[in-house]
Structure 1
Amino acid sequence: MGKTLAFVLPILESLTNGPTKGSRKICYGKAPSVLVLLPTRELAKQVYAEFEVYGGSLNLTGCCLYRGAPYRSQVTSLKRGVDIVIGTPGRIKDHIERGNLNFSSLKFCVLDEADGMLKMGFADDVELILGKVKDVTKV
């Protein structure tokens, strides 16, 4: 929890008090500002819970993308628009390849437990995802 808050809080601070402060608009279908990649669904759900608690109080929206969760509800969330996407490499890759996810508004990309993702064989998926991320602050 402490490690998660170490990157969650600065990101939320930047999103709510950064250069676009006061001009943040809730709009249908907006691309996410934050991407957090984690190796397992358990970690993804844990980090998502932290973002929900703190980001929700700031009117930021998010979704958690991992295999084993209903795909259709994930697509619905992405089409509605979210500020924060948290997920596992395989499911994030699926959404990119199907055109459900783009990073045109991405400001932050976090690779949490990157060594775990590599040990689990996600190197190619992570490379593909990061190849889609351009001019982003990587944490």
Structure 2
Amino acid sequence: MRMLVDENLSPALARALQALFQGEHEIVHLRTKFGPGVTDVEWISALSSEGRWVILSADRRITKNELEYRAFRNSRLVGFFLSRGLYKAKVTKQMERILSLWDTMEKQASIVAGGAMFELPMRSSLIAQLKR
């Protein structure tokens, strides 16, 4: 699985996941791959043209901004967005939840069509699809 960690999450989180899953998955932070200042539509388009990528993000604006939403929904990407409570939690709690949901995320990403978006909950083990 190839995963991009969006810039609203810590680059350290991306590095820790990459170290943990070295050789099994490719995990990179948005700033590492694209540098600063890239727009959401630009990176969505670029990654989609590369094939299937999984996005880990807390940027729910993508679901609200019409241009970004359409770009994502028409892409080959699968998005996992931290719930509001999880986004506001300490990075250690974020990492704990991401790791506890990892197998579910991996399976879900392999069976859904591109453009799918899901919310990672603070407590539950169920990942809900975002409808907008």
Into which bin does the TM-score normalised by the smaller protein fall?
0.3 to 0.5
TM-score, normalised by the number of residues in structure 2: 0.37
Tell me which protein shows more strand as a share of its residues.
Answer: 2
TM-score, normalised by the number of residues in structure 1: 0.36
